[in-house]
Structure 1
Amino acid sequence: MTNSGALGGDAAARTVTDAVSEAVAALRPAADRDWSAVRAGRVEWDCLRTAEHVVSDLFAYATQLVTRAPEEYRPVEYVLDPPDIGAEGALEAVEAGGAMLALACRTAPRSARGFHPAPFRGAGREGFAAMGVAEVLLHTHDMAEGLGIAYRPSAELCGYVLARIFPHIRQGEDPWRTLLWATGRGTLPGEEPVTGWGWYNNPLVEAERLTLEGLTVPAAADLALGGDGGFDWVAGGPFEGTREGAGLVVAAYDKGAFRPQWGSYVLVRREDDRAVGSMGFHGPPDEEGRVEIGYDLAVAARGQGYATEALRALTAWALAQEAVGTVTARVDPGNAASRNVLERAGFLRTGHLVDDGGMLVLERRGEAA
């Protein structure tokens, strides 16, 4: 993996300012030209309108994050004024938008979320940073292509965008080329051209006292290497099972096989934004509609019903997906506490009682299963 991406608000802010700085440096030599007369690469806009789009996105993302817009975009429009401000004015506006998004990322708390439709209806500070960086990188490419000037962003920025919001795609040896291919702007050997695309922010599943936050690739990489994944953990966390699950996320990502909604989720206590454990799937559903779930709780958080609460919520979410008919779990027959958690969450000992490894298999079926 080229770059797992630094964690936290300050790191997210730096990615935005670095992306804007590189873009403006590449485009400024062409600022004496009439950008309204030049089409921006393959997009339908001219270069001035494309720059305005970048400005709009940067300011809009900052607004969504700062105001924690819950269900839709705030009713605010961001445009260049006057419309014929020219290339130099447009670049100044891009710099201003970048500064505003960076400030929002730096000052927003870790738990802050704002509405964004793609695809799980929300994003946090690192998600908005990655989306902002993607807009800057990709549309600077479009403008540079139209203007006939050279532009190639740093591999670190491209790796950050891919790891954070394109986790379903393998980076490969050249993350910039991969990002262009993933967004319909280039080709990759052995891969079909991309005609429709989208990015992924991490999913959330709400429980009574907990928020289950889908583990991003950068956070998983940090956890697998012994870090905290950007979370404030209760005493004794993260436990070993959480780190193992994070390692599975990284391994799947490196193979191009990671699917964000079927990965690991960190269990975050809403009252104090502290992580108490993790829970997740061993991969996407199989052809029979079966998916396996596992969980891990820090010692200090045990005995308070968190595991049962989270298991009920994540299992219900899974069974609501069209591809899932049965959720299974394996437990050591001697682990009465874990078995009790499963049974309280509605799992039953049906079918195979014990697998080949001597583990007890329990399952919960959907209504149509």
Structure 2
Amino acid sequence: MDSADTTVDGEDVRRIVTLAAGVLHGADPQAWEAKAGTLEWTCWETLEHLADDLFSYAVRFGLAKPPTDTLLPFRTSTDRSGGPANVIFVDRAAGPAGLLTVLEACGGLMASVLRTAPSTTVSYHVFGPSDPEGFAAMAVVETLVHTHDITRGLNRQWSPPRELCERVLRKLFPHVTICGDAWDNLLWATGRTALPDRPRLTEWRWYGTRSE
């Protein structure tokens, strides 16, 4: 892989969502109510949030000309005070298998939309308007780090593809110097861990604004 490669597309989204669903499949059903890593959300809530991210990213590009200064006007709600505000919620009766099905469906929707969206299309994000490739990278980062959060709560191991971690780091975190393992660097860049020479971040962001 070219060390400067920042290309990310819908197939990368589909791939990482499939890998995430695979590592989460078969976990103890009772463990889904545990906290997801350092988050204040449960593992179930965090995966709903991830599915909601993928859905909300995808529907932006259902419009020929998406808004660049505001979100689409979906009504969001929460199941509890302090829980994530989502459009997407999963029927609890469907259990973890249903939750993972919704995740894969939202990931597939995102991948499909990215395949057809004109590369010049730009849509709103709180960190700055971005194009389909930027949103593909955002979807990959959300999946990587929230799967990390959830696997900590479920006591599972998550070791994602390093080349993909490196690409999204270069795409969305150009301010981060990559030293050593790209996955460790991504966890540091998203406030999940400290590195030997870098304390854990208490505030962080990515830079997805489209370069003209």
TM-score, normalised relative to structure 2: 0.87
**Aligned equivalent of 1:73:** 71
Distance 1:150 1:125 in 2: 30
The one-letter code sitting in structure 1 at the alignment partner of 2:106 is G
The one-letter code sitting in structure 2 at the alignment partner of 1:4 is D
1:29 counterpart SS class: coil
Offset, 1:34: 2.6
Q: Which structure 2 residue ranges, 5 or more long, are not aligned?
A: 77-86
1:59 lines up with 2:55 in the alignment = yes
Distance 1:156 1:65 in 2: 27
Distance 1:40 1:19 in 2: 19
Tell whether the 8 Å contact from 2:23 to 2:157 is kept in structure 1 after alignment.
yes
Distance 1:73 1:33 in 2: 34
Larger radius of gyration: 1
Tell whether the 8 Å contact from 2:191 to 2:203 is kept in structure 1 after alignment.
yes
Offset, 1:191: 1.2
Alignment of 1:235-274 (within 5 A): none
Structure with the greater relative contact order (CA < 8 A, sep ≥ 6): 1 or 2? 2
Higher helix proportion (structure 1 or 2): 2
Give identity over the alignment, percent: 36
Offset, 1:172: 1.8
Aligned length: 198
Offset, 1:74: 0.6
Tell whether the 8 Å contact from 1:2 to 1:156 is kept in structure 2 after alignment.
no
**Aligned equivalent of 1:190:** 197
**Aligned equivalent of 1:158:** 165
Tell whether the 8 Å contact from 1:40 to 1:143 is kept in structure 2 after alignment.
yes
Higher strand proportion (structure 1 or 2): 1
**Aligned equivalent of 2:102:** 93
Alignment of 1:39-50 (within 5 A): 39-50=35-46
Q: Which structure 1 residue ranges, 5 or more long, are not aligned?
A: 205-212, 214-369
1:109 lines up with 2:106 in the alignment = no
Distance 1:75 1:86 in 2: 29
Distance 1:3 1:17 in 2: 22
1:169 counterpart SS class: coil
Stretch of structure 1 that moved more, 69-78 or 129-138: 69-78
**Aligned equivalent of 1:168:** 175
The one-letter code sitting in structure 2 at the alignment partner of 1:15 is D
Instruction: Provide runs of 4+ in structure 1 moved above 6 Å.
Output: none
**Aligned equivalent of 2:148:** 141
Distance 2:173 2:189 in 1: 8
RMSD (Å), alpha carbons = 1.7
**Aligned equivalent of 1:290:** none
Tell whether the 8 Å contact from 2:151 to 2:157 is kept in structure 1 after alignment.
yes
The one-letter code sitting in structure 2 at the alignment partner of 1:185 is R
